[in-house]
Amino acid sequence: MGQERDYIIHDDKSVKGFFGKYRFLSNFHLAGVWYEGILYPSTEHAYQSAKTLDIDIRKEFLELSCNKAKNKGQVIGLRDNWDTIKYEVMFAVVFDKFTRHQDLKESLLLTGDMYLEETNHWNDKYYGVCNGEGKNVLGKILMSVRNILKSNPNYSGIPINFFE
């Protein structure tokens, strides 16, 4: 078992670690999402590219693996308002992922009322939890999207530019 396997907990109450059968919850799961007029291969690609307003740089993300997209997102110059909009961007791309792909929507709904946590070993304490510490913002977004879909079971709209 690799390093990531040491902290995974999947039981009837929680999903801690988006691996194995719960990999679809990860931003690295390949599932096309639209963000501001561009179809990205994953939520990770869309989120990282949104850190810049330069359309040419955004398009460079389309050809990268998820890991390379994450790495590129850590070195590009951030748009001025990034800290104030990063939550909205993440919510928008995650919402698009689970409303655009019926199979992923059904899989998310099958998690019922389970607690979802982006447990990790890469020290992400904003979107996830590392060594028992973190805000778990991605997990909270996923649970929020799940609740929206539960309360609107016939929802079939595909939001484009959700926050514009």
Give yes or no for residue 2 having a pLDDT over 50.
no
Q: Is the full-model pTM beyond 0.75?
A: yes
E-strand stretches of the chain: 9-10, 14-16, 33-35, 38-40, 115-117, 119-120, 129-130
CATH number for the segment(s) 3-151 = 1.10.357.40
* Chain center to CA of 11: 21
Segment 71-96 mean pLDDT:
96
pLDDT, one tens digit per residue, over 105-162 is 999 999 999 999 999 999 999 999 999 999 999 999 999 999 999 998 777 665 544 4
Q: Are 21 and 121 in contact (CB under 8 A)?
A: no
